[in-house]
Amino acid sequence: GAGVSQSPSNKVTEKGKDVELRCDPISGHTALYWYRQSLGQGLEFLIYFQGNSAPDKSGLPSDRFSAERTGGSVSTLTIQRTQQEDSAVYLCASSLFYLAGGDTGELFFGEGSRLTVL
């Protein structure tokens, strides 16, 4: 597609349920990133993929969070046993090069998946 696509755009779930968030990056982009954006907190790095491997998953908040990428393309972020503090916008981004943004610092972001945990 022309841009980074994320689904669902909105998800309301009950505490304790599992959720899956999907990201479809720009075709040909080798690097894929997940960030979380909470009100007033800016973008918090979660995990980075180069191809199908995740060299840096240091930002995942707990073992309830996991992510995978298949075929060097689509990625899924899974949150198990959701808690209210997981409520946030989850943003996916991709870049052409393995260095964040290559020479220009440019990550291409999707519009995000807004998660609300009741």
Partner 1 sequence: QKEVEQDPGPLSVPEGAIVSLNCTYSNSAFQYFMWYRQYSRKGPELLMYTYSSGNKEDGRFTAQVDKSSKYISLFIRDSQPSDSATYLCATLSGGYNKLIFGAGTRLAVHP
Residue pair 114/12 in contact (Cβ under 8 Å)? The answer is: no
The residue (of 35 and 65) whose beta carbon lies closer to partner 1 is 35
Residue 48 binding partner 1, by CB under 8 A: yes
Residue 40 interacts with partner 1 (CB under 8 A)?
yes
Rounded distance, CA 108 to CA 117, Å?
Answer: 27
Q: Does 112 bind partner 1 (CB under 8 A)?
A: yes
42 binds partner 1 (CB under 8 A): yes
End-to-end Cα spacing for the chain: 33
> How far apart are the C-alpha atoms of 94 and 56, rounded to whole Å?
15
Minimal distance in Å, beta carbon 30 to partner 1?
A: 12
Closer of 5 and 80 to partner 1 (Cβ): 5
- Tell me whether residue 66 is exposed, middle or buried, using C-beta atoms within 10 angstroms of its C-beta: 0 to 12, 13 to 18, 19 or more: middle
Could you say whether residue 79 binds partner 1 (CB under 8 A)?
no
Reduced to 3 states (helix: H, G, I; strand: E, B; else coil), residue 47 is strand
Q: C-beta of 15: minimal distance to partner 1 in Å?
A: 25
Q: Is residue 35 a contact point for partner 1 (CB under 8 A)?
A: yes
| Options 16-24, 60-68, 78-86, 105-113: segment touching partner 1 (CB under 8 A) | 105-113
**Identity of the residue, 14 or 103, whose beta carbon is nearer to partner 1 in the bound complex:** 103
Size of the chain, expressed as the number of residues it contains? 118
What phi and psi, each to the nearest 5 degrees, are found at residue 62? -160, 175
